[in-house]
């Protein structure tokens, strides 16, 4: 314990010194940002060094001073790499925000001026993770007002389909395949419509993205006339890009109409989820409606899947509407497993084109809603030896080149519980070596080909 505390203090001292001269990406601190859907795998890889491969030296102490977990998006860990103490600072705000941060760009948008959601002013808002001039919010916040330029970023899709397709980034390769799911919102008193809402399709989803549709559009039952409202992510999200790409919607930033519960609000211009226990009482979606209701936020949404899933927990029984949302499997697990036990009941994952999500269906190509998880680096710190060591350990691009079967080729794969051994399992991430399908040339769009 004394060694652990001393090591953590030493690392903190070194980091403070490095920050004093703005030496981001130095040999004693590495900044990681990007995908929130990938946070569980990253956390496991960073904190479990019981066996090779590992980010930190195997068997040495790893300190997690903020008490983070696999559901935490901002934290730091301290450990040894080649016997030298290194701090890894993590602040995950979305794939698109991550690419922007790596390349000194910002993602801005103009949320609707909606008085019911208490948006304080009109005008452009800078998304979390890309504060001006660039960088992400470091959880340590010890210098530069807590803003640091990241060294590495995980993304749910390739840079080619991002807001910055010509970004000058270093590719550390494909890390994993990451499944995404659709889910319907919770109802404490399921009616016939809710009970029969079991599936979404490649034909219905693009229409739903444009405007709320009657449930009959999904079920084929003419009496299901209540509307289905979409809950989703903001423009900093790789989950959103991946979901739209999966439906062949290539204009990912001008076709979306999404909603939030009126208990939500804007914090510093960013949509923030509200009271999950407050049931929706009406199907009216306009300002001034009495009671809890839905309001359009148009192309806006939440900055993590947790916000989407929390909104799907808002009870819709008796409101005359249904909610529908998309997220990574890690966030959706709380909905499926009824994490919010005080509310009672749960939502339900939906099939896509009649196929349920599981490892066997993903690896065989039967289930097509998944993405390529990439690791990209900042070109300015690409030559830093510590950044390179962390990137190689996470992606297995240099140190661990073998990626066959169930043999782990990176620190992430060694500790993330990658699936494939049990086809009916639902793994948060899947080893690319287990896949028997791919999109054309490994791209983000296109029909799957099986092999």
- CATH number of the domain within which 199 lies: 3.40.190.10
Residues 15 and 141 in one domain: yes
Do 184 and 173 fall into the same domain?
no
In this structure, the answer to whether residues 350 and 376 fall within a common structural domain is: no
| Domain identity same for 184 and 166 | no
Judge if 166 and 221 occupy the same domain.
no
pLDDT at position 354 over 90: yes
Among residues 415, 417, 450, the alpha carbon closest in space to that of 46 is found at 415
Rounded to an integer, the average pLDDT of 305-311 is 91
**Is there a domain that residue 447 lies in?**
no
Confidence of residue 194 (pLDDT cuts 50, 70, 90): very high
Residue 339 covered by a domain = yes
Determine, yes or no, domain membership for 446. no
Average pLDDT over all residues of the chain: 80
Confidence of residue 407 (pLDDT cuts 50, 70, 90): very low
Is residue 445 in a domain?
A: no
* Res. 5: pLDDT tops 50: no
pLDDT band at 236 (very low <50, low <70, confident <90, very high): confident
Whether 225 shows a pLDDT value over 70: the answer reads yes
Of residues 143 and 380, the one with the higher pLDDT is 380
Does residue 278 lie in a domain region? yes
Cis peptide before 53 (omega within 30 of 0): yes
224 lies in some domain: yes
Q: Report how many domains make up the chain.
A: 2
The pLDDT of residue 374 = 94
What does each C-alpha distance from 208 to 230, 306, 323 come to in angstroms? 7, 21, 11
Specify the higher pLDDT residue, 128 or 347: 128
Q: What is the pLDDT of residue 130?
A: 59
Domain of residue 313: give its range: 178-364
Asked if 347 and 434 sit in the same domain, the reply is no
- 426-447 pLDDT, tens per residue? 888 888 878 889 999 888 988 8
- The dihedral region occupied by 291, where left means phi > 0, alpha psi between -120 and 50, and beta the remainder, is left
- Between the alpha carbon of residue 256 and those of residues 283, 301, 372, 436, the distances in Å are 20, 10, 22, 32
Task: Evaluate if residue 415 carries a pLDDT over 60.
Answer: no
Alpha carbon of 391 to those of 27, 124, 385, 400: distances in Å? Answer: 13, 34, 10, 11
Determine the 3-state secondary structure of 110 from DSSP.
coil
The highest-confidence range among 62-71, 207-216, 358-367, by mean pLDDT, is 207-216
Shared domain check, 242 and 148: no
Residue 6 falls inside a structural domain: yes
pLDDT of residue 378: 93
Same domain, 274 and 355: yes
Residue 293's pLDDT is what? 95
- Residue 244 C-beta-side C-alpha neighbours within 13 Å: 23
Q: Has residue 16 got a pLDDT over 70?
A: no
In this structure, the answer to whether residues 409 and 357 fall within a common structural domain is no
Tell me which of 209-223, 254-268, 349-363 is least confident: 254-268
On the question of pLDDT at 211 being above 80, the answer is yes
Region of poorest pLDDT, from 13-22, 59-68, 281-290, 392-401: 13-22
What pLDDT does residue 8 have? 41
pLDDT at 14 over 50: no
Tell me: pLDDT of 241 over 60: yes
Q: Which of residues 301, 334, 364 is at a domain's end?
A: 364
- Boundary residue ending a domain (335, 364, 393): 364
Least confident residue range of 70-74, 309-313, 397-401: 397-401
* Whole-number pLDDT of residue 17: 29
Pairing mode of beta strands 152-155, 199-200:
unpaired
pLDDT tens per residue, range 139-172? 554 444 556 778 999 999 999 988 889 999 999 9
Contacts of 94 (CB under 8 A, 6+ apart): 34, 35, 36, 127, 128, 129, 233, 234, 236, 237, 238, 239, 303, 304
Can you give the pLDDT at residue 144? 45
| 348 and 423, same domain (yes or no) | no
Question: Where is the domain boundary, 317, 338, 364?
Answer: 364
Task: Check whether residue 87 and residue 154 sit in a common domain.
Answer: yes
pLDDT of residue 418: 55
Shared domain check, 353 and 386: no
């Amino acid at each position: 314990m004394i060694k652990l505390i001393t090591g953590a203090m030493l690392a903190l001292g070194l980091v403070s010194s490095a920050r004093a001269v703005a030496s981001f990406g130095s040999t004693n601190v590495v900044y990681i940002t990007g995908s929130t859907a990938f946070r569980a795998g990253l956390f496991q890889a960073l904190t479990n060094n019981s066996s090779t491969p590992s980010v930190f030296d195997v068997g040495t102490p790893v300190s997690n001073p903020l008490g983070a977990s696999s559901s935490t998006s901002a934290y730091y860990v301290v450990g040894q790499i080649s016997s030298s103490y290194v701090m890894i600072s993590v602040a995950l705000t979305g794939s698109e925000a991550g690419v922007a941060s790596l390349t000194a760009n910002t993602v801005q948008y103009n949320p609707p001026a909606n008085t019911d959601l208490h948006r304080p002013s009109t005008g452009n808002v800078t998304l979390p993770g890309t504060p001006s001039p660039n960088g992400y919010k470091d959880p340590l916040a010890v210098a530069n007002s807590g803003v640091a330029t990241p060294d590495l970023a995980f993304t749910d899709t390739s840079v080619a389909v991002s807001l910055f397709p010509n970004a000058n980034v270093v590719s550390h390769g494909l890390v994993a395949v990451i499944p995404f799911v659709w889910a319907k919102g919770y109802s404490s008193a399921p009616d016939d419509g809710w009970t029969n809402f079991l599936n979404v399709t490649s034909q219905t989803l693009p229409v739903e993205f444009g405007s709320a549709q009657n449930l009959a559009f999904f079920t084929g039952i003419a009496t299901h006339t209540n509307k289905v409202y979409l809950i989703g992510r903001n423009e900093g999200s790789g989950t959103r890009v991946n979901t739209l790409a999966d439906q062949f919607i290539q204009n990912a930033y001008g076709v979306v109409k999404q909603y939030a519960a009126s208990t939500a609000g804007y914090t510093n211009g960013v949509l923030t989820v509200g009271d999950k226990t407050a049931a929706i009482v009406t199907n009216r979606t306009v300002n001034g409606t009495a009671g809890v209701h839905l309001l359009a936020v148009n192309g806006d949404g939440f900055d993590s899947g947790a916000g989407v899933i929390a909104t799907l927990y808002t009870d819709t029984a008796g409101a005359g509407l249904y909610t529908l949302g998309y997220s990574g499997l890690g966030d959706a697990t709380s909905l499926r497993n009824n994490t919010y036990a005080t509310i009672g009941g749960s939502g339900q994952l939906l099939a896509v084109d009649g196929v349920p999500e599981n490892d066997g269906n993903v690896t065989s190509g039967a289930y097509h809603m998944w993405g390529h998880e990439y690791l990209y680096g900042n070109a300015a710190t690409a030559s830093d030896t510590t950044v390179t060591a962390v990137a190689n350990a996470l992606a297995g691009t240099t140190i661990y080149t073998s990626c066959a079967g169930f043999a782990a080729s990176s620190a992430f794969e060694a500790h993330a519980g990658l699936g494939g051994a049990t086809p009916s399992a639902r793994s948060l991430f899947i080893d690319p070596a287990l896949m028997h399908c791919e999109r054309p040339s490994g791209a983000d769009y296109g029909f799957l080909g099986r092999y």
